Amino acid sequence: MRSGALRAALAAGLVIAASVAPVRATPVVSKDATLPVGSELNEELLDQPTELFGFDQAGGKRSYLFNLGDMLFSSSSIFGGKAADAGMSCNSCHQQGASNPKLFVPGLSAKPGTFDTTGSLFNAKADNGVFDPVTVPSLRGAKFIGPYGHDGRIASLREFIRNVIVNEFAGAEPSGQVLDALVTYVNEISFLPNEKMTSDGRLTDKASDAARRGEALFNKPFPKNASMSCATCHEADAAFVDHKVHDIGSGGYFKTKTLINAKFNAPYFHDGRFDSFDEVVGYFDKHYELGLSASEQSDLVAYLDAIGDADTPYTPNTVQAEIDELTAFISVLDVAIPARDKAVIRLAVDSVGAEWREVGENFPDRKDTSVEGGVAERMRARASVRDLVLTLRQVAMAAEADDFPEAARLYGQYRKTVAMVTPYLKAAEQYSLFNPRVHDKHFAALRQLAELAK
Ligand code: HEC
Ligand code: HEC
């Protein structure tokens, strides 16, 4: 949902520098961007990791704190330094609460999907002087997979998130409210349903025979150590974790990872050394001298594939999905304006304004020759987005001037404008980057530009 500085730079006619990294989805970054050339935030996703929250399943509703947390999770305003300049947010790495298998920042990543949170780029003070990138974990089921960090060093989610903001990304000390909101939000991020697995982690009759044989192997005591099986650490009825750290020969003590929806979490192990379940199983076979035959190994992989799956892992992004999301984000003003909470009003206006500008960039300018047709529709969509951003700015200005009735009035006007321009945005959708055909053509043209700039 978040598009980077790239398109903004393009629109401004800035020079495009070639990526040094292998070809990926959007392997170009503007020279002017804050991140090193070759960085890949993998933001131009048409199909996004599916998002599901605890209250969705419990039939509950979004609370104020949840909406605030949801908004902050996508906001660069809580970070400082380069991360804020580059428009990065929690969501840049934990996309829709999942992982980001393509994230790559030269100097901080060893391979796509890994990141050194103690490097100097984002906070010189937090630099531990060692290049020690780790995988970006999925936060699905976050409530059930503590302690936090690959090495399980922090028991409290609140403390972990505070550390992310202040130490890893040089943000100002967050208010209690900001932390409460992010903790509330992250705690709601759920595992995705999987018809092959029961809620207590057993296979259903939708799973294959191979997976079923694999399940038996998973529970079978190791030949050289009968007190241990895969399941003694990965407890099926406890989200496949034991909340402990172990030295399994991977370079130190690391926490047991969940295996739910893990099919989408590659690369595996703390440092992302393994790209597939095949490799992981091969490793365990050797390390614990399990003596598994080739067919047993493939049964175990079939089992990991089955419990690691999800019914709907990805969901296409649409204009309506963007509008729904931004409507939820801005709804914090329903509470913040009457409460005269200037800090939240400012955060909401900044974050939602930035999100709208990015939505606007999905409607290419008339100058963009990679897109055909719908010029009038695209221009009207862009103008609509500019209107919305402007109205939001006025909300913030009124609040800064302590004129809260005026802020409330302008917020009402903003909401009416959203309703009014929704048909315009939808009319332009087919000519926009929300359309897979247009999207692919547009990025193919960008890649060509990058080649020329080499
Ligand atoms: C640049 C990428 C990046 C950004 C931005 C980022 N994270 Fe992370 N996150 C990581 C990495 C890498 C780890 C693993 C770190 C470790 O093991 O110490 C991690 C770990 C976590 C964990 C622990 C998960 C677990 O299973 O132990 C939580 C919770 C988390 N991040 C939440 C957040 C929140 C909330 C934000 C925004 C305030 C955020 N992250 C921003 C990369 C990122
Ligand atoms: C002694 C505890 C223990 C046992 C036994 C164990 N694991 Fe694990 N497992 C871990 C730990 C700890 C990690 C994380 C290692 C790391 O981050 O370097 C892990 C990681 C994994 C991963 C990668 C998950 C990810 O997201 O990175 C898979 C898959 C896995 N184990 C499957 C198995 C299978 C299959 C077996 C049995 C053959 C098994 N495990 C036995 C503790 C255990």
Round the CA-based radius of gyration of the chain to a whole number and report it.
23
Distance in angstroms (rounded) separating the CA atoms of residues 36 and 109: 11
Specify the range with the lowest mean pLDDT, choosing from 103-112, 133-142, 226-235, 293-302.
103-112
Which residue minimizes the CA distance to atom 18 of ligand 1?
149
Is the minimum distance from the CB of 304 to ligand 2 under 6 angstroms? Answer: yes
> Does 81 score more than 70 pLDDT?
yes
Work out the mean pLDDT of the chain and round it to a whole number.
Answer: 91
Ligand number, closest to the Cα atom of 227: 2
CA of 255 to the centre of ligand 2 (A): 9
Is the minimum distance from the CB of 233 to ligand 2 under 6 angstroms? Answer: yes
Quick one: pLDDT at residue 371? 87
| The amino acid at 258 | T
> Does 355 score more than 60 pLDDT?
yes
Is the minimum distance from the CB of 343 to ligand 2 under 6 angstroms? Answer: no
Ligand number, closest to the Cα atom of 151: 1
Distance in angstroms (rounded) separating the CA atoms of residues 260 and 267: 15
Is the minimum distance from the CB of 136 to ligand 2 under 6 angstroms? Answer: no
CA of 236 to the centre of ligand 1 (A): 25
CA of 257 to the centre of ligand 1 (A): 15
Mean pLDDT of 349-370: 93
Quick one: pLDDT at residue 222? 98
Q: Which of 136, 138, 218, 269 to mutate to test the pocket of ligand 2 (most atoms within 8 A of CB)?
A: 269
Ligand 1 atom with the smallest distance to the CA of 89 is 5
201 CB contacts (<8 Å, ≥6 apart)? Answer: 235, 236, 237, 238, 239, 240, 260, 307
* Two structure tokens written together for 28: 């170009």
CA of 231 to the centre of ligand 2 (A): 10
> Does 439 score more than 70 pLDDT?
yes
> How many other CB atoms sit within 10 Å of the CB of residue 153?
14
Distance in angstroms (rounded) separating the CA atoms of residues 421 and 381: 8
Q: What residues are in contact with ligand 1 under a 6 Å CB criterion?
A: 88, 90, 92-94, 115, 117, 134, 136-137, 139, 142, 145, 148-150, 157, 160-161, 164-165, 182, 186
Distance in angstroms (rounded) separating the CA atoms of residues 215 and 47: 31
Quick one: pLDDT at residue 33? 65
**C-beta of residue 266 within 8 angstroms of C-beta of residue 137:** no
CA of 149 to the centre of ligand 2 (A): 15
* Two structure tokens written together for 275: 């790209």
**C-beta of residue 363 within 8 angstroms of C-beta of residue 105:** no
**C-beta of residue 418 within 8 angstroms of C-beta of residue 352:** no
Distance in angstroms (rounded) separating the CA atoms of residues 449 and 454: 9
> Does 449 score more than 90 pLDDT?
no
Work out the burial of residue 295: count CB atoms within 10 Å of its CB; fewer than 13 is exposed, 13-18 middle, 19 or more buried: exposed
Quick one: pLDDT at residue 332? 98
Mean pLDDT of 106-117: 93
**C-beta of residue 93 within 8 angstroms of C-beta of residue 117:** no
Q: Predicted confidence band at 122 (pLDDT cuts at 50, 70, 90)? A: confident
Ligand 2 atom with the smallest distance to the CA of 281 is 35
CA of 163 to the centre of ligand 1 (A): 10
Is the minimum distance from the CB of 284 to ligand 2 under 6 angstroms? Answer: yes
